[in-house]
A and B are shown apart, each in its own frame.
Chain A
């Protein structure tokens, strides 16, 4: 078994201090990546500085959007109903990472710091305009996640710096988001492709309210068709793609092509084509490039549709089964 010293600081300051004073040290959070790298002999740190025991590090705070602490695990995200409703894409992703055992200890910041092109939470955080909060020997700073990723497994962290959490701006009820992870198995898998989308929608300039027409189990495609005259407009949109480039990336051309437009399924298809053209997937044992590109197309459209659906029909509005009588909005 590999030998290393293990340190358990209680404050970030202490952690950064340790990092500055120790040779060949590495931060460890949930350890599900770091321990694997050590066991596979990819890294051999002399010291591990644990972030598990930092005080007040695992909180999820609402207010001015959303603050996610550096020690927040994937399971913490999954259990948070506010995130599920208002930052749905993040819940989608967190719930699909590894296994329950992994999610129980693996942190979102750890997932982001590894900067694997397949990191599941990266795409949702990109579309949710997350800023990365960083602390280091020179103090604290905050950078947009898009700037934080520098390349394949490379992030904007200087010597001794550590990610202390994320800030996500608030989004109104007219914003919906989704993440689709395309895998070979239903669990315990890395994405062949991961697509996250966030859309903000306006109808004729006013916010969408409750419409009885939406209280239905019909497909979102059909609902969109019925709402053609309503001029649902895409006010804002983000599309992020995983495993199609050395790092998680935004499909900026596709975003630009959708922003401000009246939405329709046909338009989404065009947008998806553009996103696919922006993807630069490679062949690997985990998937073929042509297929990945094809999936960007399919999943982008689907993720947009789910996001739109989540605006038009929030979870608490969707009927349970076919029992229309139980829907307060129908009765009201």
Chain B
């Protein structure tokens, strides 16, 4: 492995030159001849009856080609994992993002003007916005046919005997933690162009991060719309950020299809920034009760968690985040006894979806905050408690995760060293340090029946390589990582690799850019295909060179003999010899890699991922006792990545995730009042700016994961998972107040400091 030429190197991003010159085509930039522009009318209320919906005036506006409402949606079509979401809502609206009418017009301006001409009369109904209220007996039902606001998703994980463990524990802590709604803030807003050919086959120009699953969604929709058996082709434009927001299909995409059907023209939707804020699906808020215990030696005895999640009015992947939360709950540190139940609750709020970390940040905030409380109760340094219970290679966790490589202790050591943990801990001078760890899937995640990805590699006559992959590039750099893997195996310069990754007509199936799986799964897939083609080429070269294939190697596009350096043959010659001969052939290979991981069984147990990624974040903060403001003085993000295929891109994931996590911890929150988003803009939604970047170190810990391509594991999501609890713990160390609900605003810190001062005075007075 030491003589790697491409893997492990700082290779520049393949698509960067196009992006720095403004040449990349995002959905915003794409125009199709004859294209119409779509617009959506959303509900004025979070919960209401629609008494009247009159589109006549809009239809009469010159330039308007179609106006559709719920009445135009055939067969009562609904989408989403619970099939509870009609693309256009009629009769009743359940959230302020409910789509009630849509137009297609010759310009975006006319489409917007048409929306203003649609007349709607509502009868406002009382809404329910607090999931705890929504769970109560007699609460108004968001979906009457469901009979309850609690979704029928029995999230429950039991390992060992928590009750018995509680009794035997020397120390037990219990508390409640809350997290807020936050959103992805992709800089490129959502959009699509739906185009039907004369046979009603659909081409969807899309931003999706799940092309194969989206294709399936649209095929189902076409069937419901009376176009059964038609083909769907998805062409992905350059994607202006994903982070989970494009992991599901949205109403606007189905509306685009319906409008394209009605007008027989391509129809484009581009979200405004406001729409992007309120009409895409964010990370849901959570309420978590947690108890943890340890024995007198600080060994964890049990972890019990009970969670309520605001699902919003309809169901998307947000409702399935408990499946990922189970991972840290059962397997972050060695905890023998686990109990976890989660309930997702319908409300009249926006509906929730996937976002980087997929539930893990919410769960880890509770676990890691609570661990510090436990350490204090047990009289242990929080680092010491964590180190004693740290995960290790070879472990089988209570949820039946088989831990292969694990660098948690090494990460912890890096944090302790770089932060000067011992020197800075517990000084109580307004400065403090905190840490938190993470576990995440690092070798795919079997959440569907397949966790696979396909790759096709073809060689041309000059030794250039086309790699057709199912993996989606959403900015994270999968294209570059795959090119590196293929270049390494084939022994060709990376510039000779062309990755094609944006067209379902030519790219093989893939389950999507999610679960930090692209490097691992698509990487293994590319690795398999590359090995196959290498074998074919070496066999032919061996014949031509009169050598044993086993003695041949390829470097820089030239096949050579390891035994006799004089003997060499350019790859291009090998390729042409095979091609331009009677009965000739072209070199092509395909490989479908489906990792040997397991779907959960009925008890939610099973080896979800082939390997697990670990990391530890440490932070030093300074708290302004007068204003409650928290300043990050130093941030260490140490990650076990298996093997860094591209350290530069990998650090980019850590920095990006880290700052997203800092935003989650300290400022970002979607402020909803009665189901309406009050801060849906970049001024009032406090996504961090360049000036908010603290001194940060990304530390790469390599553990060489045997199942990973060249030893690699996933790193897409982990960067933000432990950020918030690390910061909360540091604040506690600095000033002795624990903030249990995110974000940790100056108001909350100051109030807590005032309350603490009062309590301290009270105590000293008594």
Contacts and interface: CB of A to CB of B under 8 A. Distances in A.
Interface of A: 1, 182, 184-190, 285-288, 291, 294-295, 298
Contacts of B750: 291, 294
B627 A189 contact: no
Contacts of A190: 683
A167 to B, nearest CB: 32
B692 A186 contact: yes
Given A291-B746, A294-B750, A295-B627, A188 B682 contact: yes
B522 to A, nearest CB: 36
Contacts of A298: 626-627
Contact of A187 (B671, B678, B692): B692
Given A184-B746, A185-B667, A298-B626, A285 B684 contact: yes
A179 B746 CA distance: 20
Nearest 10 pairs of A and B residues by beta carbon:
A186-B691, A187-B691, A298-B626, A187-B689, A291-B747, A285-B678, A186-B692, A184-B686, A285-B671, A185-B686
Contact of A185 (B626, B679, B691, B747): B691
B90 interface: no
A185 B659 CA distance: 13
B109 interface: yes
B745 interface: yes
Nearest to A302: B626
Contact of A286 (B682, B684, B692): B684
A288 B671 contact: no
B690 interface: yes
Contacts of A187: 689-692
A286 B678 CA distance: 10
Contacts of A189: 683, 686
Interface in B280-308: none
Contacts of A1: 109
Contacts of B745: 184
B606 interface: no
Interface residues of B, number: 21
Contacts of B679: 285
B746 A185 contact: no
B688 A185 contact: yes
Interface string B526-548: 00000000000000000000000
A287 B628 CA distance: 13
Contacts of A186: 689, 691-692
Interface string B674-697: 000011001110101111100000
A8 to B, nearest CB: 25
A288 B750 CA distance: 12
| Residue of A182, A185, A286, A288 with most partner-chain B CB within 10 A | A185
A188 B689 contact: yes
Given A186-B691, A291-B747, 6 more contacts: A182-B627, A185-B688, A185-B692, A285-B679, A286-B684, A291-B628
Contacts of A188: 682-683, 689
Contacts of A182: 627
Nearest to B754: A294
Interface in B661-717: 667, 671, 678-679, 682-684, 686, 688-692
A232 B750 CA distance: 33
A183 to B, nearest CB: 9
Contacts of A295: 627
A217 B689 CA distance: 30
Nearest to A299: B627
B747 A288 contact: yes
B754 to A, nearest CB: 9
A288 B682 CA distance: 20
A240 B691 CA distance: 26
B180 to A, nearest CB: 13
Contacts of B686: 184-185, 189
| Residue of B109, B626, B682 with most partner-chain A CB within 10 A | B626
Contacts of A185: 667, 686, 688-689, 691-692
A187 B671 CA distance: 20
A189 B687 CA distance: 11
Nearest to B678: A285
Contacts of B689: 185-188
A298 B753 CA distance: 15
B508 to A, nearest CB: 43
Contacts of B692: 185-187
A106 to B, nearest CB: 14
A190 to B, nearest CB: 7
A258 to B, nearest CB: 20
Contacts of A294: 750
Contacts of B671: 285
A182 B750 CA distance: 14
Contacts of B626: 298
B677 to A, nearest CB: 10
Nearest to A298: B626
A182 B746 CA distance: 11
Interface in B96-129: 109
Contacts of A291: 628, 746-747, 750
A188 B691 CA distance: 9
19 contacts: A182-B627, A184-B746, A185-B686, A185-B688, A185-B691, A186-B689, A186-B692, A187-B690, A188-B689, A189-B683, A189-B686, A285-B678, A285-B679, A291-B628, A291-B747, A291-B750, A295-B627, A298-B626, A298-B627
B271 to A, nearest CB: 15
